[in-house]
Structure 1
Amino acid sequence: CNDGKMSVKEMDAPLATPCNIQICEVTCDSFRIVWDMPPEDTARATHFFIDLSRKESRDPNRFKHRDVPTKLVAKAVPLPMAVRGHWFLSPRTEYCVAVQTAVRQPDGDYLVSEWSQVVEFCTGDYAMEHLQQLLDKAKVSAGRLLKFSVFYRNQHPEYFDYVRECGSLMRPALKDCSGSHGSPINGKLQGVFFSCNTEFDTGLPPRDSPYGPLRFQIPAGHLLNPNISLYFADFYCMYTAYHYVVLVLAPVGSEGDTFCRTRLPMLDLASNPFLTYADPQRPGEEPLFCHASDVILEVLFTEPVHLDQGSVEQISGHHQLKSLTTANAKKDPSCKVCNISVGR
C-alpha cells in the first residue's frame, strides 16, 4: 500500500502472542504493566484484554473462552499501562495476570492474539496516604480520653514460666496478620503487645481477659514518656460493634522507631485522640496518662520488657472470652466505619 494504510490481509494477519510481561510501580491497589509486541501489532492493536485473578485460584480452565475477553477490556494505549480501580485490588495479595492484544473488526468482532504467559506479582502495603485515611476514620470513633496508670498484658502461666526461663525478659515477637491486610507492620515489625483500656466504673484494668488468667502490670511511664515515639498502625473491627486501634510505641532512635518513621503516621504524645502523655504540672506530681474510651487499644512496644519493671498477678474475673482475641483475625471488609477505598 502506497498510502500508508494497512491492507485487509495485513489487518487479518494473526497477532503475535504478547511476551516478556513486566509488572512495575506496584502499590497496594494499582500497578503498571508492559510487554513486548512487534511494531506492526503495536500499530494496529485497538484493545488489550487483561485477565487478573488471585494466585490461590488454581482453576486450570481459568481462560475458558480464549477468543473473547474474560476480564478487563481496555483501549490500546502506549505501554506501560496503569491498572487501577478495575478490580478493587487488595493490598499485600498475590495475583496472576495474563494479556491478549486485539483488533476490533468493522463487524464488532475481535481478532485476538493468544494469551501471554501468566505472570505473578504481589501488591504492596498501605502507603502513608492510605494510613492517614485510616487514621482520620479512627479519630471519629475514639471517644473522650480517660485517665489510666498502668499498661498490662494477660497470658497463661506457661507463658510467664517461659519468660522466666529466658532471663525474665518478654521479648518482641513478629506482629501477626490480624487487622487490615495492608498495615505495614503485619508480619514485619516485632514487639510486645500491651493493653491500657480501663473500666468506666473503677478506672482500673478490666477483671476479665480472653488471653489468660495472669496479668503483668507495668507503670505507664515505663512505656510512655518523652523518650518514646508514638505511631498509628491500624484501625479495624471483626464483625463486631467495637473497634480496635493499633498503636506502636518505639524508643526514639531505636530500630523500631526507624522502621515506623517512613511507614506510619506519627502522633503527638501530648495531643492525639488515642493515647496521651502530659508532663507533671508541679514538682512531686505524676505525669498524666490518658486513653481513648470508645475503642480498644492494642499497643505494640518494640523493645524487650523485663518482668522486674512490673508485677505478675492473678486476675479476679474470667479469662475464657475467646471471642475477644484477635490473633490473625480478619477485618470485616463490609464495615463502613473502618474501611478505606483501597482494598481491605
Structure 2
Amino acid sequence: MSEPPPAPPGPPPSPHRPAPAGRLTALQGTALYVGAVLGTGVIALPALAAETAGPASLLAWLALVVVSAPLAATFAALGARYPDAGGVSTYARLAFGERTAAVVGWCFYLAVPPGASAAALFAGSYTEAAVGGGTATRTVTAVVLMAIVTAVNTAGLRVTGRLQLALSGLLIALLLGAVALSLPQARTEHLEPFAPHGWAAIGSAAALLVWSFAGWEAITHLAAEFRDPARDLPRATAAAVVIVGVLYLAVAFAVVAVLGTGAADADAPLGELMARGMGGNARLLAAVAALLLTVGTMNAYYAGAAKLGAALGRDGALPGWLSDPEEVEAGPHAAAV
C-alpha cells in the first residue's frame, strides 16, 4: 500500500508571528492593488508614449497589460500560499535563506520613504501649477499628504482599507467619466498614420511605460490580513489586473483619439482630456487627479511597508522595536512612522 503524498509546505515557521487578523475584504484588497499600480504616470505617460510611437503606442499598452497578468498572478499565488507580512522577503527566505531575505526586505522597506516623498512632491508640483505659490505650495502639499497617509496607517488596516476603497472608487469614476465624456470629440484622423515612427518605436514606448505596471508585489505584505488569503488575494489581484488594464487602455486611447499625438505638448495631458470632457480648468483637474492618485499609491505602499518593517523586526533583520506581535486591531505604529 503506497503512502499518501506529503502535504505542501505552509508558511515559514515564526514563533512570534500572530494569527492573521482578517481585517481586509477582497474588495478592499482590490482597491489597494489598484492604488499600488495605478500611479501618477497616467497623467502624462499616455501622451509621451503617443509622441514616441504614435497611435501604435496603444499596442505597447496592450502588450504590457497582457505581460503583467502572469506577474500579478505569481505574486497572488505566493501570497495565498505563504500569507506572511514579510511578503517578497519571505519568498526570498524560502528560496535562498535568511541573508538574502534580509537584503530583499531592506531594499523594499527602505525604498518606500524616498519614493513616497518624490510622489508627494510630484503631486505638489501639479497643485502649484493649478493654484500658484511656488515652492511653498509644493512643499506644504507634500508634507500634508505624507502626514495624512501616516496617520491613516497608524490607525489600522480597517481605516486604511476603507480609505483606499473610497479613493479608488472616486478615481475610477473620474477617469472613466473623463474618457466617456471626451470620446465624442475623438477624430479618426488622429489614428492615422498608425505607426508614424515605425513599428520599432512600439518597443521604445513600452520601455517608457513599463514602470507603470510595477507594484504587484506591494500588497503581498498584507496577505495575512485578508479574511481568507487563499480565496480573497487571487480574486483581488484578478479584479485589479482587469481594472488597471481597462483604465490604462481607455485613457491611452482617449488621449490619442481626442488630443492627438501632439498631446505631450500640454502641461497636463490627462487634465486637458478631463477638461475636454467635463469642462473646467485643465490644470486644476490635473491637480485633483494627481492628489487622488498620489494618496492612493502612498496609502497602499505605506500599508505594505509597515507590515514588512514589522516582519523584519520580528525576524531580526531590523531592530525588534519595529515589531509588536501583540497588536491586533491597530497597525504596526513604529514601522509605519
Q: State whether TM-score is above 0.5.
A: no
Q: Which has the higher contact order (CA 8 A, sep 6+)?
A: 2
Say which structure is richer in strand. 1
TM value normalised by structure 2: 0.22
TM value normalised by structure 1: 0.21
Quick check: which has more Rg, 1 or 2? 1
Say which structure is richer in helix. 2
